[in-house]
């Protein structure tokens, strides 16, 4: 059972602004039946560029319906310029939060809003130009990069929660990891220096990581019959390999993210990203 906030439940059980506005000024269609959710958003915009009405039609789960409903409420009364700045985080916040596996529902809301505004302005969305990475859900590299930057995503799992990419056949996982690495490292070149004035040399970093693995992490894993080995450190990416019982454990991803990465971020460098060797 999902833990939905009261706000999500209210908007799901009694959604506002269901339907289509008459002669819409802008209309946005995103998602598909195959994907399991889809949203058609229609906007009425007056001569002062103010959104006077918004209606939705949604096929999807409770969070998809609630996200659509709260989105229409948010944008009515906004100028087109203001509405163009609404992010998926704004939508999720307005609902008092969404379970992380459901964040893609808020992304769908933002995408529909963008599509409707572009339609009103007679523009073609930049997303249409991207290259499709996830074929199951038709997600492009630009969609993924945008989600990584806007919601500070740091793992493939998070990318799936937000964009659905990688949630079908899983064939694009390597590609997603690649995009994540490039996006994060290109972003971190300048700003990380500002945030982290104290830079470690690679050698210092590796030594420190080994130390923390040995002292803080291995004893716990060994108690469960497992172990961990450091394979490589490439910038902020720490590549490890789980051994023994950890290797066959279906919680290995959680072990790496919730335990190993948390500890290394806490004790070595908070920008570290731990990945398991393939």
Partner 1 sequence: MTTANKKIVYMDNNATSQVAPEVIEEMLPYLTEAYGNPSSMHNFGGQTGTAVRTAREKIASLLGAEPEEITFTSCGTESDSTAILSALRTYPEKRHVITTRVEHPAVKSLCENLESVTGHKYKVTRLKVDSEGMLDIAEYEAALSDDTAIVSVMWANNETGVIFPVEEMARMAKQRGILFHTDAVQAVGKLDINLKNLDIDFLSLSGHKLHAPKGVGVLYIKRGTLFVPFLTGGHQETGRRGGTENVASIVALGRACELAGEKMAEENGRVRQLRDKLEEGLLSKVPKSMLNGHKTSRLPNTANISFEYVEGEAILLHMNQHNICASSGSACTSGSLEPSHVLRAMGVPFTAAHGSIRFSLSVYNTEEEIDFVIEKMPAIIESLRKMSPFWEG
146: which DSSP letter? H
Q: What's the rounded Cα separation, in Å, for the pair 35 and 149?
A: 24
Taking alpha carbons only, the member of 9, 39, 203, 178 closest to residue 106 is 39
Q: Residue 5 has which token pair?
A: 């906030």
Closest CA relative to residue 44, chosen from 65, 68, 20: 20
166 Rama sector, left if φ>0, alpha if ψ -120 to 50, beta otherwise: left
Q: Is 12 in the site for partner 1 (CB under 8 A)?
A: yes
Nearer to partner 1, 141 or 157 (CB): 157
Q: Which residues contact 56 (CB under 8 A, 6 or more apart)?
A: 15, 17, 18, 19, 39, 40, 41, 42, 68, 69, 71, 72, 112
The least distance separating partner 1 from the CB of residue 62, rounded to whole angstroms, comes to 5
Q: Which run of H or of E encompasses 108?
A: helix 103-121
Rounded Cα distance, 116 and 121, in Å: 9
Applying the rule CB under 8 A, the residues between 66 and 125 that interact with partner 1 are 101-102
Check: CB of residue 52 under 8 Å from CB of residue 75.
no
Is residue 140 close enough to count as binding partner 1 by CB under 8 A? no
Asked if 35 is an active-site residue, the reply is yes
- Does 164 help bind partner 1 (rule: CB under 8 A)? yes
* Candidates 8-16, 147-155, 210-218, 255-263; binding stretch for partner 1 (CB under 8 A): 8-16
Residue closer to partner 1 (CB basis): 33 or 190: 33
105 labelled catalytic? yes
Contact residue for partner 1 among 24, 26, 28, 60 (CB under 8 A) = 60
Using CB under 8 A, which of the segments 62-70, 212-220, 235-243, 268-276 binds partner 1? 62-70
- Which residue from 47, 194, 250, 278 is in contact with partner 1, where contact means CB under 8 A? 250
Number of residues this chain uses to bind partner 1 (CB under 8 A): 33
DSSP code at position 199: P
Judge whether 74 and 43 are in contact, CB under 8 Å.
no
| CA–CA distance, 80 with 63 (Å, rounded to integer) | 25
DSSP state letter for 151: T
| Residue 132 within binding range of partner 1, rule CB under 8 A | no
- Comparison of 226 and 272: residue with beta carbon closer to partner 1: 226
CB of 35 to partner 1, least distance (A): 8
Q: Which is nearer to partner 1, 92 or 238 (CB)?
A: 92
Q: Does 245 bind partner 1 (CB under 8 A)?
A: no
Q: Kindly list the catalytic residues.
A: 35, 105
Residues that bind partner 1 (CB under 8 A): 2, 12-13, 15, 18, 29, 33-40, 57-62, 64-65, 101-102, 136-137, 160, 164, 167-168, 247-248, 250
């Amino acid at each position: 059972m999902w833990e939905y906030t009261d706000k999500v439940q209210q908007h799901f059980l009694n959604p506002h602004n269901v339907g289509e506005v008459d002669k819409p000024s802008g209309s946005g269609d995103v998602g598909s039946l195959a994907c399991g959710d889809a949203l058609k958003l229609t906007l009425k915009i007056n001569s002062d560029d103010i959104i006077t009405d918004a209606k939705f039609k949604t096929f999807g789960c409770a969070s998809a319906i609630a996200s659509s409903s709260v989105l229409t409420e948010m944008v009515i009364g906004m100028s087109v310029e203001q509405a163009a700045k609404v992010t998926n985080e704004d939508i999720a916040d307005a609902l008092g939060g969404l379970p992380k596996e459901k964040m893609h529902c808020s992304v769908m809301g933002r995408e529909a809003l963008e599509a409707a505004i572009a339609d009103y302005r007679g523009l073609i969305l930049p997303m249409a130009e991207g290259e499709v990475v996830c074929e199951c859900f038709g997600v492009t590299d630009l969609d993924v990069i945008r989600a990584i930057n806007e919601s500070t995503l740091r793992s493939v799992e998070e990318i799936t929660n937000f964009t659905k990419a990688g949630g079908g056949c899983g064939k694009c996982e390597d590609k997603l990891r690649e995009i994540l690495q490039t996006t994060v490292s290109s972003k971190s070149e300048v700003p990380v220096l500002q945030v982290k004035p104290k830079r470690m040399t690679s050698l210092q970093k590796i030594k420190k990581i080994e130390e923390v693995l040995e002292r803080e992490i291995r004893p716990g894993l060994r108690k469960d019959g497992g172990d961990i080995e450091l394979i490589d450190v490439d910038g902020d990416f720490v590549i490890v390999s789980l051994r023994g019982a950890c290797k066959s454990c279906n919680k290995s991803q959680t072990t790496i993210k919730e335990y190993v990465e948390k500890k290394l971020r806490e004790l070595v460098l908070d920008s570290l990203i731990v990945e398991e060797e393939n």
